[in-house]
Amino acid sequence: MERYASGHQQIKDDVIPSFEKLHPGCQALFILDQSSNHNAYAPSAKRATCFNLKDIQLSSVNQRNEGKKNERRTWFRKGLETILTERGLGKWDEYKAEGKYWKAKCGNKEANSDHTCCPFHMLENQPDFLAQKTALEELVVKSGHLYTLYPKYHCETNWIERYWSAAKRIARRECDYSFKSLQENLDGFLDQVSPPDATPIEIRRYYNRCWRYIYAYNDMKDGNEAFKLVEKFTSKRFLSHRKPGVHD
């Protein structure tokens, strides 16, 4: 929870304000990897997995009223049964008439075609639950910017990962493995991969390589087949003065 809060707060307090100050009037596109932290939901998010079948009691307190009898107030969290019944979607009576019981979860990962296999899948597929965004996406979109996630096999299709890998290789070679040294030289390690005052050759290579992996996976190649296909491009050498094409 601490990692979720710190990452969320960093984007809210640092990243978005910094971008808007550096690029006034522009819209940013946030592309993040598929970590559990980036896929975390806010505590108040509509998530079917957070509900029990029955209502559960959250708290109960005695409330004193001047000149009146004290009252006891109790707060409940609605369960799947109450929510679906209020929406006119419950199937308990139908199942009971057939001598069956509509279990909270059917045990299958995917719902049936009309989502009536169990209360959990039915609620999960309601429009307001389907529209629920993660905490980070809600924050970014609310700020007027764009948000998306890399595919789960993103390491092969994310050129930023390759850039970081190259910078880490330089860091391992040149730093003395102290935190102070890393702090002082990190910007220099990043700049060595692609100097800011030069043509960004390396990042373009990483970009092209990642797209070759994407095309390979799109053609239903497995990991080994995709690797061999990409290697055909990266192992090619031009021995003449001919200029390589844009896809070389």
List pLDDT tens digits, range 35-82: 788 888 988 889 988 888 898 887 766 766 666 667 777 888 888 989
pLDDT in tens, 122-179: 999 999 999 999 999 999 999 999 999 877 666 777 788 888 889 999 999 998 889 8
Is 208 part of a structural domain of the chain? yes
pLDDT on residue 24: 94
Q: Assess if residue 244 is contained within a domain.
A: no
Q: How many domains does the chain have?
A: 3
Within a domain: residue 31? yes
Q: Give the mean pLDDT of 197-226.
A: 87
pTM: 0.58
Q: What is the pLDDT of residue 241?
A: 52
Whether 162 maps to a domain, the answer reads yes
The answer to whether residues 159 and 142 touch, using CB atoms and an 8 Å cutoff, is no
Q: Does 247 map to a domain?
A: no
Dihedral in degrees, nearest 10, Cα atoms 38, 40, 46, 51: 150
- For residue 37, give both structure tokens: 């932290």
Per the structure, the complete domain to which residue 106 belongs is given by: 48-128
Q: Is there a single domain that holds both residue 117 and residue 169?
A: no
Residue 52 and residue 41 share a domain: no
- Residue 224: pLDDT band (50, 70, 90) is confident
- Residue 134: burial class (beta carbons within 10 Å; 0-12, 13-18, 19+): buried
Q: Are strands 146-149 and 56-63 parallel, antiparallel or unpaired?
A: unpaired
133 contact partners, CB below 8 Å, separation of at least 6: 141
Residues 122 and 17 in one domain: no
